[in-house]
A and B are shown apart, each in its own frame.
Chain A
């Protein structure tokens, strides 16, 4: 219940934050919404000697449109994602996903940045970002760079971030107008991580799938991009037989943990069921 002691820092600029993290090294953790980190600290599963609170860095907040992209500051809370008009209009899957994360209180404080950056395989946004082919703006002491979400996740709690780097914003290309989308999440109860979840974004032309991108949550050590499954569906009318093939391809890349949510074999099957249902809902929403 009681975390270990730490020194608290509250920078007011990205530069200051990065400098602090760079200098303090392994002993320091960035604090965003804190609703992943603080519970871990209370169980003493994490005991950073320094916390660098990003809540005072204005540049990390806000949602802006940049051409076809929407750029979301990492300190944007899930509540703000849900309330965002531009996101609701252009990238509605984000709102749908956000509403399935945790509970109302956690959504008021938890950030989309924390959700994408800490590498927890249970987080929902990573698979959605992979599905959307988002890019993360990263800053560290050696400067700025961008990392594709599809290249960001390396293992459980292992990302492509170098020591001292933080994600500052998430750049999401808006899917084409009239796209179909769905985030289908199987969970034991509200607030639980996914037993399995599937993110689907697709477009249809003349009743056939023109493009299809699929992300899977919590069925491996990292979020998964089911690239093969997506390819299989292109040109199809999402008929049962083709969907079945795509599901098989998606199931084949999973390697879930067995835990209270179920044995690995069950969770693999549930990834398939979630994908099937997400595809059906995405199809309903797509125009043409």
Chain B
């Protein structure tokens, strides 16, 4: 099958590559761009470990062909920290609140949480849980992930973080 030429911006960098039409965006990112942050946890579009931020939308990159993303502006977990290495508030938050254990769902989870907080600066706990319902985690039971997102939301809004009483 003849390859297609695509170009897009990934984590602020312009990239140009040849792909088969059937090349999934997740494989394009992981194999051709060496961005192994987003992961593959299923083949039925349920787990969300492959989530990237594409043109301002949270997208499961396993359910998009790279050719469909031609011209897009994509951000992966590797693009979350600042250029000088300062971690994004969410990355700091996940560590502070113990929002990860094996780390496999974490890139997709943080990337989704990033867009969630763009949609809604100050989500309630229920809104957070609905907001991350496209991302499965087997280790944490989500509770500390919710706290991490609340912590990040507070930090990004410049308000002190109040951990809810247990």
Contacts and interface: CB of A to CB of B under 8 A. Distances in A.
A42 interface: yes
B98 interface: no
Among B43, B132, B134, chain A packs the most CB atoms within 10 A around the CB of B134
Interface stretch (A5-13, A211-219, A228-236, A247-255): A5-13
A95 interface: no
Nearest to B55: A108
A55 B22 contact: no
A8 B4 contact: yes
A8 B65 contact: yes
A5 B48 contact: no
Among A34, A38, A104, A108, chain B packs the most CB atoms within 10 A around the CB of A104
Interface string B124-144: 000000111110000000000
B15 interface: no
Q: 8 nearest interchain CB pairs?
A: A103-B134, A8-B21, A108-B57, A1-B43, A190-B133, A105-B134, A5-B1, A105-B58
Interface in A34-88: 34-35, 38-39, 41-43, 51, 53, 55, 79
A46 to B, nearest CB: 12
Size bin of chain B's contact surface: 20 to 34
Nearest to A50: B21
Contacts of B20: 5
A104 B133 contact: yes
Given A43-B44, A191-B46, A7 B60 contact: no
B157 interface: no
Nearest to A77: B57
Contacts, number: 85
A31 B68 CA distance: 10
A51 B59 contact: no
Given A43-B43, A109-B59, A5 B134 contact: no
A41 B64 CA distance: 11
A3 interface: yes
A112 B21 CA distance: 24
B63 A34 contact: yes
B112 interface: yes
A109 B64 contact: yes
B101 interface: no
A106 interface: yes
Interface string B1-20: 10010000000000000001
A39 B134 contact: no
Nearest to A55: B68
24 contacts: A3-B24, A6-B1, A6-B22, A7-B1, A35-B45, A35-B63, A39-B44, A42-B24, A42-B43, A51-B21, A102-B134, A103-B48, A104-B58, A104-B131, A104-B132, A104-B134, A105-B59, A106-B134, A108-B57, A108-B58, A109-B57, A109-B60, A109-B64, A191-B133
Contacts of B4: 8
Nearest to A192: B46
A59 to B, nearest CB: 19
Interface of A: 1-8, 10, 31, 34-35, 38-39, 41-43, 51, 53, 55, 79, 102-106, 108-109, 190-191
Interface string B64-78: 110110000000000
B150 to A, nearest CB: 18
A42 B65 CA distance: 11
Contacts of A1: 40, 43
Contact of B51 (A8, A102, A105): A105
Nearest to B58: A105
A8 B67 contact: yes
A106 B24 CA distance: 16
B138 to A, nearest CB: 15
Contacts of B116: 104
Contacts of A108: 57-59
A5 B22 contact: yes
Contacts of A104: 58, 112, 116, 130-134
Given A3-B22, A39-B63, A79 B45 contact: no
A35 B57 CA distance: 15
